[in-house]
């Protein structure tokens, strides 16, 4: 099997939320704790830091190519300039805010087939984490609470079910999903990861309906069948494998983010030689494009 190769190494504290921009044919990702954002162009094998500011915990791409950013203190921002020459000078406009989350931040998100966005917030000393739904008209609805660190999400190919991860619980849940209303129901456990293999982090679903789950503190990327059977685990030279997405012209490139770059030079840290880097892997399995958000502004 081909092994993962590093495409960019900024020694990220926590490289996360990778997303393929099909219009620009590039990959975006963020280093959450440092508030940095990056992008990578495979055609030129070039990458750059394009932003530093408030932490970014989730990214979707709007149908016009703009980036919708789920940030710190309950803020949802729209980045309206995405062209290379104007990114640093582009405008960042707040389009929504959740007052109850001013002491928290968003952690992961996903657009659904109709352009809504599901996004989670992490727990604080004052309240548990929650999962919210941002509808296309800007309405925000809390759909789930009592969470610790909400994480990776994905949809089954028939669009009738949605996966959702709560990392400290070591569980990936599955819900019945109503595409017409965006409602979630019938929550049950899809996978519980072993205690000694880290916790499930970001995830995606491939063209065969199999689930790819990154394993924080587990050093691997896992593939599961739609019935929850593990069929593949891919090792990485990083203890904290944080997220995965598919991209490239035919969506057979897997881009995988990792964390721990700020500690990898510390003797005895065990973070791994590739901690904090972003990797690419192609083993001939095809993914599908992520849905685009259609939030009106």
**Residue-wise pLDDT tens digits, 195-253:** 999 999 999 999 999 999 999 999 999 999 999 999 999 999 999 999 999 999 999 99
Given a cut of 80, whether residue 160 has pLDDT beyond it is yes
Query: Predicted confidence band at 84 (pLDDT cuts at 50, 70, 90)?
Result: very low
Return the residue matching tokens 């921002």: 77
Q: How far apart are CA 241 and CA 31, in angstroms?
A: 13
Tell me the torsion sign for CA atoms 225, 228, 230, 236: positive
Q: How far apart are CA 143 and CA 231, in angstroms?
A: 32
- Break the chain into its structural domains and give their ranges: 5-281
Which residues are known catalytic residues? 201
β pairing state of 129-134 and 117-121: antiparallel
Q: Contact, 152 vs 204, CB < 8 A?
A: yes
Please give the share of the chain, as a percent, with pLDDT higher than 70: 96
Q: How far apart are CA 114 and CA 128, in angstroms?
A: 28
* Secondary structure letter of residue 210 according to DSSP: -
The reported pLDDT for the residue numbered 85 is 45
* Inter-CA distances, 128 with 18, 28, 147, 148, Å: 25, 29, 6, 6
Classify domain 5-281 at the CATH class level. Answer: mainly beta
């Amino acid at each position: 099997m081909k092994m993962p190769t590093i495409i960019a190494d900024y020694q990220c504290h926590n490289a996360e939320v990778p997303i393929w921009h099909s219009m620009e044919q590039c990959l975006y990702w963020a280093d959450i704790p440092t508030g940095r954002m990056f992008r990578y162009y495979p055609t030129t094998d070039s990458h750059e830091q394009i932003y530093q500011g408030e932490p970014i915990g989730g990214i979707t791409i709007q149908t016009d190519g703009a980036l919708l950013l789920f940030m710190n203190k309950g803020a949802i921002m729209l980045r309206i300039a995405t062209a290379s020459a104007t990114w640093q000078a582009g405008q960042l406009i707040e389009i929504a805010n959740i007052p109850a989350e001013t002491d928290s931040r968003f952690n992961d998100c996903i657009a659904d087939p109709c352009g809504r966005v599901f996004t989670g917030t992490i727990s604080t000393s004052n309240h548990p984490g929650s999962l919210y739904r941002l509808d296309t008209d800007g309405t925000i609805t809390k759909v789930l609470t009592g969470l610790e660190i909400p994480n990776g999400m994905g949809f089954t190919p028939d669009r009738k079910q949605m996966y959702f991860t709560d990392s400290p619980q070591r569980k990936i849940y599955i819900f019945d999903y109503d595409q017409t209303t965006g409602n979630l129901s019938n929550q049950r456990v899809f996978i519980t990861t072993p205690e000694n293999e880290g916790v499930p982090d970001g995830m995606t679903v491939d063209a065969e309906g199999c689930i790819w789950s990154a394993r924080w503190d587990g050093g691997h990327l896992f593939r599961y069948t739609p019935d929850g059977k593990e069929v593949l685990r891919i090792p990485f030279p990083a203890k904290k494998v944080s997220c995965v997405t598919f991209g490239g012209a035919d969506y057979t490139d897997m881009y995988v983010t990792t964390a721990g770059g700020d500690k990898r030079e510390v003797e005895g840290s065990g973070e791994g030689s590739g901690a904090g880097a972003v990797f690419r892997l192609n083993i001939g399995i095809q993914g599908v494009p992520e849905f685009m958000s259609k939030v009106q502004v």
